[in-house]
Amino acid sequence: MLRKFAIVGAIACSTLAATSATAASIINLDGKGNASLNGDNAVNLDLAAGTYELVFVDSLFTAFNRFGTTSGCDSLGANCRLGFENSARFIIDGTTYLFGDGNASGGIGPQATGGYYSTAAQAFASSGVYKTSFTLASPGSASFFIYDDNLSDNTGGISLAVSAVPEPATWFMMLLGIGVIGYAMRKRSSVRATVSYA
């Protein structure tokens, strides 16, 4: 009986391992090299059919500055007239989606404070409020880029994580596997506990 539980547990664990193996793809967008008005310099990512979550992450980049300078900031380094932001656009099946500060439109600053930030660290710290998801009905690619036209003064960049969202059946198998392993371990300890002395 325990052997059957171990086999079911192993199958569920392999499902868990397969899920974590495709956990996230990191997209690094350079403020100069991957910026344009139409995605000409985009980073393309080939994806399987499914639902994906998109967030900003601290990887190669944390934030970018489309002006090369900061000005007009308040005493906390926020509400700047010029400064750092976290914004991007992505294209799926010919449709462009906006993500992040100022709806990724440029020139209007982050939505949360009405302005830019004095440092990349501050901009990144505010980017946690942004999370979106998209679904591909069939295998395809997504193109990610920074929206801007005057690239010579851009500094920094942004890093994005694209993670597959597990389907309900995958979650069920993972939970089943964990439960079966727990049951088998408990059963095994109770068998050991019934030792009697003559």
Q: What is the pLDDT of residues 32-76, one digit of tens each?
A: 999 999 999 999 999 999 999 999 999 999 999 999 999 999 999
91 compared with 111, residue with greater pLDDT: 91
101 φ, ψ to 5°?
Answer: -55, 135
Q: 81 to each of 44, 93, 146, how far by Cα in Å?
A: 32, 35, 19
Residues above pLDDT 90, as percent of the chain: 54
**Domain 23-165, CATH class in plain words:** mainly beta
The packing angle between helices 168-192 and 2-21, to 10°, is 140
CA distance 21 to 23: 5
Give per-residue pLDDT as tens, 106-120: 555 565 556 789 999
Q: 117 to each of 56, 104, 133, 153, how far by Cα in Å?
A: 16, 15, 26, 17
User: What mean pLDDT do residues 183-198 have?
Assistant: 58
pTM here is 0.72
- Stated as kind and residue range, the H or E segment containing 45 is strand 43-47
With CA atoms as reference, report the closest residue to 145 among 167, 129, 166, 160.
160
Listed by start position, the domains of the chain span 23-165
